[in-house]
């Protein structure tokens, strides 16, 4: 809980952030083992994740847990970046919105209009609510510092090499599959919390539930689709469509009901995400408390 509050109060440093430093180290490791094979990709993934988990398992104490939680959470930054894009769109500054979009997702913003950018932001907020908040909190509750740092390491590797392109089709498959596995539970918890929080943004819980269960598996990602479908249902908007990544066109199925997401829906998506953040914190704190309670109760009294 202290680390969650730190994430809200202390902005990420422009330089020297622990996750960025880890990314550099992983990049160094990739340069030495990269090859067009799944075996080399598995070696890369193991060599980049296992040491992080091992070191994390040796760390104890509330201060270390709070500091690690602050380092791996990205919810505040996610919402701030989304709000900045909303500010630009509301001013009619499409060029500035296009400039800011790469801070949230990897889509090519050059040809996107206002609605296209708005949809990209809403979808990114939905997906990254799980990756940047729920996932770290859940794994932190289960595994302490090792869980926190391990999940962030896996998620970072997926962002680095989990692409379906010529360089990473085989090499990145181990990192991508491990990220899918680690994010399976957090994504569905995120979706459930978004459904329950639908009234916060004027939505209906029953409608959000129906949309989530109907559309969650339509997305090519086993986890992103759960979050995006639940957010679409809670917001009463339609998401999905054609996305362009690095010159490659990717057609995604539509999810949700109602009009397409627009600029005003960015603020609503951020409000929904922040509510989900609090719900995820409550779940994680409950799990962590239940895990430590019996051990504390068993201590001999003096």
- For residue 149, pLDDT beyond 90: yes
Q: Name the one residue in this structure whose structure tokens are 């680690």.
A: 182
Average pLDDT, the chain: 92
pLDDT of 224 reads: 94
Strand pairing category for 242-245 and 248-251: antiparallel
Phi/psi zone of residue 59: left (φ > 0), alpha (ψ -120 to 50 degrees), beta? beta
- For residue 295, pLDDT beyond 60: no
pLDDT of 146 reads: 97
If we measure between CA atoms, which residue out of 294, 293, 290 comes closest to residue 282? 290
pLDDT of 244 reads: 65
Which residues are within 8 A (CB) of 209 and not within 5 positions of it... i.e. 6 or more apart? 195, 233
Q: Name the one residue in this structure whose structure tokens are 């499409």.
A: 94
Helix count and strand count (H, E) for the chain: 12, 4
pLDDT of 105 reads: 87
pLDDT of 166 reads: 84
Per-residue pLDDT tens over the stretch 52-109: 999 999 998 899 999 999 999 999 999 999 999 999 999 999 999 999 999 998 888 8
- For residue 214, pLDDT beyond 50: yes
State CA 60 to chain mean position distance.
26
If we measure between CA atoms, which residue out of 117, 70, 75, 119 comes closest to residue 98? 117
CA distance 203 to 195: 9
Per-residue pLDDT tens over the stretch 158-213: 999 998 788 899 999 999 999 999 999 999 999 999 999 999 999 999 999 999 99
Distances (CA, A) of 213 to 67, 166, 187, 231: 36, 34, 13, 12
- For residue 30, pLDDT beyond 50: yes
pLDDT of 249 reads: 67
pLDDT of 53 reads: 97
If we measure between CA atoms, which residue out of 220, 214, 221 comes closest to residue 238? 214
Look at residue 244 and give its three-state secondary structure: strand
pLDDT of 247 reads: 59
Rounded to two decimals, the pTM is 0.92
- Range with lowest mean pLDDT among 60-74, 215-229, 238-252, 253-267: 238-252
- For residue 301, pLDDT beyond 50: no
- For residue 246, pLDDT beyond 70: no
Residue 294: band (very low, low, confident or very high) from pLDDT cuts 50, 70, 90: low
- Contact assessment for residue 72 and residue 136, using Cβ atoms and an 8 Å cutoff: yes
pLDDT of 292 reads: 63
The residues with which 242 forms a beta bridge, in sequence order, are 251
CA distance 185 to 193: 12
- Contact assessment for residue 225 and residue 188, using Cβ atoms and an 8 Å cutoff: no
- For residue 110, pLDDT beyond 90: no
The residues with which 255 forms a beta bridge, in sequence order, are 239
């Amino acid at each position: 809980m202290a680390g969650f509050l730190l994430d809200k109060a202390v902005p990420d440093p422009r330089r020297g952030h622990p996750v960025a430093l880890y990314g550099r180290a992983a990049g160094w490791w990739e340069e030495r083992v990269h090859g067009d094979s799944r075996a080399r990709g598995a070696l890369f993934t193991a060599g980049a994740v296992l040491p992080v988990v091992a070191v994390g398992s040796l760390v104890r104490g509330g201060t270390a847990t709070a500091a690690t939680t602050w380092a791996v959470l990205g919810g505040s930054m996610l919402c701030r970046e989304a709000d900045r894009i909303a500010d630009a769109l509301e001013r009619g500054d499409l060029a500035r919105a296009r400039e800011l979009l790469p801070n949230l997702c990897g889509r090519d913003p050059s040809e996107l209009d206002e609605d296209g950018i708005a949809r990209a932001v809403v979808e990114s907020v939905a997906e990254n609510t799980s990756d940047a908040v729920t996932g770290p909190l859940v794994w932190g509750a289960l595994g302490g510092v090792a869980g926190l740092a391990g999940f962030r390491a896996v998620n970072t590797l997926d962002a680095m090499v989990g692409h379906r392109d010529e360089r990473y089709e085989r090499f990145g498959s181990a990192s991508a599959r491990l990220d899918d596995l680690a994010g399976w539970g957090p994504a569905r918890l995120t979706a459930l919390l978004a459904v329950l929080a639908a009234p916060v943004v004027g939505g209906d819980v029953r409608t959000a539930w129906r949309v989530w269960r109907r559309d969650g598996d339509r997305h090519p990602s086993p986890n992103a689709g759960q979050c995006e479908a639940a957010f679409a249902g809670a917001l009463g908007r339609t998401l999905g469509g054609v996305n362009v990544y690095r010159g490659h066109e990717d057609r995604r199925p539509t999810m949700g009901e109602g009009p397409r997401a627009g600029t005003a829906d960015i603020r609503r998506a951020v409000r929904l995400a922040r509510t989900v953040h609090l719900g995820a914190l409550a779940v994680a704190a409950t799990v962590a408390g239940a895990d430590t309670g019996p051990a504390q109760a068993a201590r001999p009294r003096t």
